[in-house]
Chain A
Amino acid sequence: MSVIHRVRLPVGATPTVEVGHSVEPAEVLATRRAPRGGINVAVSAALRQSPADAERSLVARPGATLDAGAILAEDGRGRQVRVDEACILLGYDRDDGSAMIAPLSGSEPVLGHVRGDVVSIEPEAIELRIAGALVAGVGGSGTAVHGELRVAVHEPGDELRATAIDVGATGRIIVGGSRASAETLTRARAMGVAGIVLGGILDKELRDFESTQQRRREIGGVRGDFAVILLEGFGKVGFDPGLFAWFRTHEGRMASLFGDTARLYVYDAGPPPGRRVLPRPGDRVIAHRRPHAGQGGELVRVLDRPYAFASGIVGRGALVRFEDGRTAVVPVANLEATEPLASA
């Protein structure tokens, strides 16, 4: 199977690839010259004009990009003001007759962070076709990372503990279980883990981790990229066992993880177990809210009449036999059917 990944290009980026090119995660798709800090260029003094007259002599308007040596202003009598380096003209101060420019840096790369084939190039974005599967999450944190998948827990409901992170995890994307503490995330980052895939995590733990990383970044103590993705929900939410089994079969495959947009691409992988709303009797289902968040089971029957839940909410209910042996009535709106793997 294949999926499309879109890489947005910032303004001013120049693509370095063509349609049909095959690219690797670290390959440069485009380059751009990012603006650096602003500096003032004396215009009226150089033209020996008043600030108001000098403004009329500007040949570029604010917002324009100028090449090195380009004329910024000229008086028509031979006097010119040129810019020394490529820059963006930001504005002109009519009081002191100076122009503010933002010099452009050297070429900076725009990476795709995925392996795939370029299928389209537009001014705003480059699209890549990835041979593999996309697993979409419900939340996450961090930048784009890539690495080999490694499953680090035995059961989908297990917590990913700090002790499970060893040197073998360095550079890999670790598949954990129901949750991980901020301590585990901190250790994973310190051990050079590229990313972590979890069923759920306490929002507070994730925020605590982000805060400590932010502080360390501010003092320059953080190197390398790291990302976390949550697949099921917030809180202690286990993996769907079917999805966990799918990860097990793909252990060792390369993957690219985008934490902030909660997407995980697994290369050369078949489709993950599908999800469907409005499950039917006999379906394998997963529940999404407390008190059954992340639990899987079988939908026994949908109740004929609206059901009053403990909260007082009245709605469509379904009797679910969970994998731990308990049965409960759950709002159908809180259930998703999980489709079996194609090979199952």
Chain B
Amino acid sequence: MTPTPVRADLALLLDVGSAWTKAGVIGRVRGRWRLVAHAAQPTAWGATALRRWLVEQLAASVDTRLVHRLDDLIADANRIECHTARRPARLAVVAVSRDLSGGAARRAAEAAGWEVVETVTFDDGRTLAGRLGILQAAEVDAWLIAGGFDDSRSPRALEAAALVASARRAGGGPVIWAGSAALAGEVDRLFESGALSVVGNPRPDARREEPAALRTHLAALLRDAVMPQDETHLSSVAFPRAIGALAGATGLRILGVDLGARSATRALAEPDGTFASRVHASGGLAGTVLAPGAAARVARLAGDAGDEAAVADLLQTLRARPTSLPQTPEELAATQTAARVQLAGIQEDGVPGSVDLLIGAGRTIAAAPRPAQAARMLLDGVRPLGVTQLAVDAAALLGPLGSLPDEEIGEGLALLGEDLLVPLGTAVVCRGGAPGRLAMRVAVHRSGWPPRSAIEVRTGQLQVVALPRGQAAEVTIELLGGASLGAVRRSTRVQVNATGGVVGLILDARGAPIALPKRSDDRREVLAGWRDSLAREATAGSERVA
């Protein structure tokens, strides 16, 4: 008798990062596409090791007739892949003033994914010769010049352009003029034909900063001129596309943050599917050490990560050995606090309005040992005011799915259904209120559950209410003592629906930004309280208070 041939429909979703590669195998199980295996390993380990690990996982669960064919099946599976850019694109910024034109240009460049390797301004304390010397030695892919308000003809801005003209080799990369519109023609004459592009001034006058045009131009330049490979396969492009498609499909306003080893991507998508994204070249964990005073800040915010010297060594290790893993609780605490600091850094101008869903991606967040730790990083780093669902892209599927053609992204997201994201729960974050006084009184109504008394949350407190994955609750929030959920409301009573998750319903009255006691013992006690409140496993019907 001829054995019945066994068919296996598999696809391999790969997210190849600068440090770690994440792989998910999706297969058809009883007529539905499901995530059947997931693995993550340092990228340097190579494809063979990754395949071997996936085979080990699948061997335990697949039809025994397929076991000996698994290696071939995975090797031949349809691959959907995204990857981090091979190297960061480097930029020199030359501007009139450090705080105005220079600051605006630098922020726009970093938000577009460029690494700013040199910044020269006329108030940087250097001599003219020093500035020229630095620029002549700079190894950059492009030059950005900024300065002068649009209604003025600043000689300093022209000098900035001349500095670049003096320091740059002919054909030495594109030049962007983002200064006074009145000077664009004169600046153009300083460079060979076609070298200069003119974009909107990010500081058109002393009061306004309008970086959007410059950021968009720099992001396009990054993709077109410096990284000419198929842009949709770049993680920094694919991840926001997936967030946009998810927002369009669900009708939710979604903020996605992908914290990588080297860079970080932030994507804000509207319910109609449109999205805006920013890539922060040094926004990843390895970039924490670059921020002035980072070690002191991380040590202070972690509370249990050791002293500043130990944290400084850890931050350097994250830069030097980005594939290594925290083995001790102290190292994990410092790493996760560094993630919170970096997340806060990439939200520099905040999120306009509240978001419905906040998604965390990247190994540090999405593969945190405990879901509560992921929730803590998202809550403390982003401070999403209002009522927000939290979720993590635990299997790193969003990036690969976002690399599909436009018309297929939504289909891919829909196919994976509940396997796509791990819901952490819903967070209610308020700000304001007097320290120690009531900030929120929250009533949670769950269908089929007996009514229970309202929960009181004081300013500075964090409470968690068990609300398992798949459950929903009606939540009535009464704001007290001047506390607010961010948006201006006529009523202090708000009624919302909350969905459950592996953490539950988080009631967070710690304010924005979070206020911490000055005394170190008090601070450690408060931080430990918040950590323990989130970390204890949820017991149905109970609240955890800190």
Contacts and interface: CB of A to CB of B under 8 A. Distances in A.
- By DSSP majority rule, is chain A's interface helix, strand, loop, or mixed? loop
B309 A291 contact: no
A61 interface: yes
Nearest to A289: B324
Interface stretch (A69-77, A187-195, A309-317): A309-317
B168 A91 contact: no
A56 B373 CA distance: 66
B163 A334 contact: no
Interface in A80-104: 88-95, 100, 102
A313 B332 contact: yes
A46 to B, nearest CB: 19
Contact of A312 (B45, B49, B308, B332): B332
Interface string B151-162: 001010011011
- By DSSP majority rule, is chain B's interface helix, strand, loop, or mixed? helix
B127 interface: yes
Interface stretch (B8-16, B96-104, B313-321, B461-469): B313-321
Contacts, number: 170
B328 A290 contact: yes
Nearest to A328: B327
Interface in B273-315: 295, 308-310, 312-315
B411 to A, nearest CB: 32
B128 interface: yes
A89 B162 contact: yes
Given A203-B295, A277-B44, A311-B331, A289 B132 contact: no
A124 B330 CA distance: 46
Contact of B189 (A61, A89, A102, A235): A61
Contacts of A274: none
A126 interface: no
Interface string A109-126: 000000000000001100
Nearest to B307: A204
Nearest to B168: A11
A198 B327 CA distance: 24
B318 to A, nearest CB: 10
Nearest to B333: A311
A337 to B, nearest CB: 12
A35 B133 contact: yes
A139 B128 contact: no
Interface in A264-305: 277-278, 288-293
A106 interface: no
A190 B137 CA distance: 30
A161 B45 CA distance: 38
A291 B314 CA distance: 12
A289 B331 contact: yes
A217 interface: no
Nearest to A305: B56
Contacts of A235: 310, 313, 317
Contacts of B546: none
A35 B44 contact: no
24 contacts: A10-B133, A10-B136, A12-B136, A35-B129, A37-B127, A63-B164, A95-B155, A102-B129, A102-B132, A202-B309, A203-B312, A203-B313, A233-B320, A289-B317, A289-B326, A289-B327, A291-B328, A308-B369, A309-B325, A311-B328, A311-B369, A313-B326, A333-B42, A333-B323
Sorted from nearest, which 5 A-B pairs have the closest CB atoms?
A63-B165, A312-B369, A62-B162, A311-B332, A138-B320
Interface of A: 8, 10-12, 34-38, 61-65, 88-95, 100, 102, 123-124, 138-139, 202-204, 207, 233-235, 277-278, 288-293, 308-316, 330-331, 333-334
Interface of B: 41-42, 44-46, 49, 53, 127-129, 132-133, 136-137, 139, 153, 155, 158-159, 161-169, 172, 189-191, 295, 308-310, 312-317, 320-321, 323-332, 367, 369-370, 373
